[in-house]
Chain A
């Protein structure tokens, strides 16, 4: 570069530089440096004549490099670059030396050394400028659409400013309505104008503005691109209400049975799952709050909507609750009694105190129908040509028939026995499951059109197909009792449980001896034992080979059996049946101990040698299990090694395509709900089979669980006890033991439900919505929008004062946060604006505690800026509307804004007591008569220098404003910075307060720092004007000093891609290899990639290695030692 011509200009800056540095000497020295063709000094280089000096030299002397030594480049580098550019020199061929801030000013007392340092700095600049290259500033067009994130006052203001300016705005709001925190406020200081009154018109404007596309219940998921050209993915959560159809009539909310705390009312009030987010909601439409599927629903094998019917019962909607049960399966009465209720095991309430008595509630609605009488069900219209045969009328078969008839098929159920119901009729005794309950459930199925042919055994499937049935469901159960295989099992007096229960349930008269032993630990064993007692046996004992806790029978059944006097011989097994005169006389048992776990995970019982003992008995019922009776089934079917039917585990299809099976026949002996579930599953398969569509596709859908169940404010309450028949009344009677709940108990019990998923999907809202606006099938969707800039106005979270335990928030009823008090004073709030205590009384005294979580090293060191003023506002309102004494506990009063100080004076004159001191604690521990029944605010009055105890009725905590809990995620999505307190970081606190690290992303309002409404609005307008100015410019110049890859050296290792925060480099395939490619529009020029580049392929333009090393060399070239 032989023809480098450098001009050096030394600024006097009046005496700022020249008063310390010998500028003439520096200029003379500069003239001696290589390639310098001219060097001058001038009083004010930044002035027009100063700049003209440079321009003239460029033109006349043909300078192609310029160095100015003056003030900080942060001040005037742009000025001189522009001067160069004006004179036709590329602005990047300029170098700046800082001889004022870094030389003359800090070394004012060492003039000689300062002059030497100035020479060093100039020399280094000359060395560096030699290597500068002309850089091209690129321009890209700006997309004129703007994204506004957050629908609070900041977002609303910014959106309206931009939209009114004629540009398109996409407003993304997480909640179903815009309004933010401001719409929660009652009045605004210092003018006390109503927040709703001033904000609602603006909200409506946003809702109706032709240039604003409002996306509520939505969140920004991903942001890519760069200033002027961002691509934004927005996840829109379903509202389940069609915004165009909803007319806000509120019928859905009236019909909705689910009540949850209303967030808008700071949980001081309840709302429905179908709700208007706030009275002035924009969009003015209801929303349905779904947080996933409640655990009880997921737990139910048959998929019964337990949450739904519990919610309906809580509202006294018993008929609707029963309808909801029957939407899934027909056995409300049966399963309300005998279900093993997995729902209750998973019930979230159980984690808090005790699970909801879900089964008993289901039973309650079934009983309610029996009590009030049921209208005959309307037969289902047959819409399908095909006929389906169901063989076996137990719960599996009937559940299958029930689902298929509702699909429009013709169904015939074949039953070998005289009564339909299978084990429901023949297995479970009346004291647990009365016959009329079974009959009611079955007749409901029959009324729908299911034909049940009893006393019709089926031996041959072909015969069924010949009758025109296109598919068969086999649900014939596991109907034979398993044998023990011990000597004497066939002795008279020994009976197997199924035979025994069948006789009991058919009303066959039986004569039992006075001592009965029952072998086994399942429900059949307990049923047999309790039935034996009712048939007149004096002593009944259950012999079980494992320990009592391992009994598979329902726990409450075991407990009741014990209460009825049944003895339990656990860890014992019969070894031999002894007889006398051909009649059973005793059972010889052996004691067992628990050994290693077996396949079921339970410890295997092992006989203890020599522990035999004899029980003298008259009868023995063997209830050790049931098996499938293969002799009754067609030969052509496949069986498993367990003797059960072999089916596809998902579709329940047998080896014959048109034959499906489920229930005990497939699973072996299981419970009723499992059988119902299998019947339903088979019904799906049969329907698909008959319609000729895939049996497996989209079959198993994983339900979305509720992530976090809110238990806030839930007071412990035990579950309702089931009323039971007196023990004394049970002997000799098969009267039902469990008596069921009355209406009051049922409602109370149902109200304990936590409504985990919020919406229970009972669909009552759908029934009442005349506009047909509700659609529970709505799905989440992701839309992509393109914008040129974005304004983040995501607001703040209120600090949770419960972490400061000594303030007693959430411990004492009348300790409130500011936002809670806002709702209390609001006319539309939970108390209709009456300032009152939890018990409804008007407070006689109120303490307002400032700086709760702010100005506190333990929480937030910053001042939240609004608390002093809203604290004063509360005092004003309390004074105005009540007779209460008010105490303001403050550290400093900060009333800095327009008319704020005047408001402070006004409130002071109302007779409010100001106590300077931070409250140490709030306590209900009275030490004087006066403090009794009050909350005592204890503080040091720092003006008096003594501890004060102020008894009050109500305490309002002025809780800090803090950054949103997800601020970090939002910051990383938009690649902007955060301060230590997590608020978003502006580019410059004074001069660029709404700009961020990402060009084209602006911030406004409390997401940047706590601020009041006037400042927020001003800042929002500032952000809007930044966005508009960008649009108005129409194009943006990209940073020229960006990263650059020498593709001849790069081997595409990808370290640059890994380190870059802004996603500028990507590894691409090129010419058969891989290299890094920099998206210059995304590159910020931070240089991190060049540092990690192992080959030196990456350099930063204007900051390359040659330039920096020349600069360093220049600085150190002369040794002053």
Chain B
């Protein structure tokens, strides 16, 4: 059986973390292809529903990432994101998901290396953790 390859959805703000991921690519930093980035305008736009949807659809891990507090294009998006995240974290816990499956990051535009490192770390961590308890909810399995 092939090695378990976790699927990760990263919700990223357009201005910092998405740009950091662009920078990681431009710099040809190599990280595993397990991560999919959903581009939103601001980390303050990330709705808890999106994250729950990702878990529901079988994501093994979710990253929530945006600007640092002082870099936000919309002034204070990270603060708003924190408020959402704090509530969500508890909800995810109650749902029976391991706390480690949900990560909060603040990766700014110039931190391509940070982005690549976070993805690598997270993939390793999730591999140890194994598939999400909700993987049974996946409709379709296609072996590659």
Contact = CB atoms under 8 A, between A and B. Distances in A.
Interface of A: 72-74, 98, 100-103, 105-110, 112-114, 116-117, 120-121, 124, 975-980, 985, 987, 997, 1041, 1059, 1061-1062, 1084-1088, 1090-1092, 1100, 1103, 1105, 1108-1109, 1111-1113, 1115-1121
A108 B41 contact: no
A105 B28 contact: yes
Interface string B122-144: 00000000010001001111111
B46 A1119 contact: no
Nearest to A976: B75
A188 B37 CA distance: 50
Most buried by A among B37, B116, B135: B37
Given A107-B30, A110-B33, A1041 B41 contact: yes
Contacts of B50: 1108-1109, 1112
Nearest to A110: B33
B72 interface: yes
Contacts of A1105: 47, 49
A975 B74 CA distance: 9
Interface string B1-43: 0101101010000100011011111101111110011111110
B93 to A, nearest CB: 20
11 contacts: A977-B70, A1086-B74, A1086-B77, A1087-B40, A1091-B80, A1091-B84, A1112-B59, A1115-B7, A1116-B54, A1116-B58, A1118-B142
Interface of B: 2, 4-5, 7, 9, 14, 18-19, 21-26, 28-33, 36-42, 44-50, 53-54, 57-59, 70-77, 80, 84, 116, 131, 135, 138-144
A1119 B25 contact: no
Contacts of B39: 73, 98
B72 A977 contact: yes
B80 A1059 contact: yes
B74 A102 contact: no
Nearest to B44: A1088
A114 B53 CA distance: 24
B70 A979 contact: yes
B108 to A, nearest CB: 11
B45 A1090 contact: yes
Given A975-B75, A1091-B84, A1108 B40 contact: yes
Most buried by B among A109, A114, A121, A1087: A1087
A999 to B, nearest CB: 12
B85 to A, nearest CB: 11
Most buried by A among B32, B33, B57, B144: B33
Contact of B30 (A106, A124, A1116): A106
Given A74-B14, A1120-B5, A1100 B45 contact: yes
Nearest to B6: A1121
A1111 B38 CA distance: 8
A1112 B8 CA distance: 11
A1059 B42 CA distance: 14
Looking at chain B's contact residues, is the secondary structure mostly helix, strand, loop, or mixed?
loop
A1119 B7 contact: yes
Contact of A1109 (B5, B32, B49, B59): B49
Given A106-B30, A116-B144, A980-B70, A997 B75 contact: yes
B28 A1119 contact: no
Contacts of A1091: 44-48, 80, 84
Contacts of B73: 977, 987, 997, 1086
A620 to B, nearest CB: 78
Contacts of A114: 33
Nearest to B4: A1121
Contacts of A112: 144
A106 B47 contact: no
A1077 to B, nearest CB: 20
Given A1105-B47, A1112-B9, A1112-B59, 20 more contacts: A72-B25, A98-B22, A101-B22, A101-B26, A105-B25, A105-B26, A106-B30, A977-B72, A977-B75, A997-B72, A1059-B80, A1086-B44, A1086-B74, A1088-B77, A1090-B45, A1091-B45, A1091-B84, A1092-B80, A1119-B142, A1121-B5
B31 A1116 contact: no
Contact of A1112 (B33, B44, B53, B77): B53
A100 B18 contact: no
B46 to A, nearest CB: 7
Contacts of A121: 36
A1116 B9 contact: yes
Contact of B38 (A105, A976, A1108): A1108
Given A106-B31, A1111-B38, A1061 B76 contact: yes
Given A1108-B40, A1115-B9, A1121-B131, A101 B138 contact: no
A1092 B77 CA distance: 13
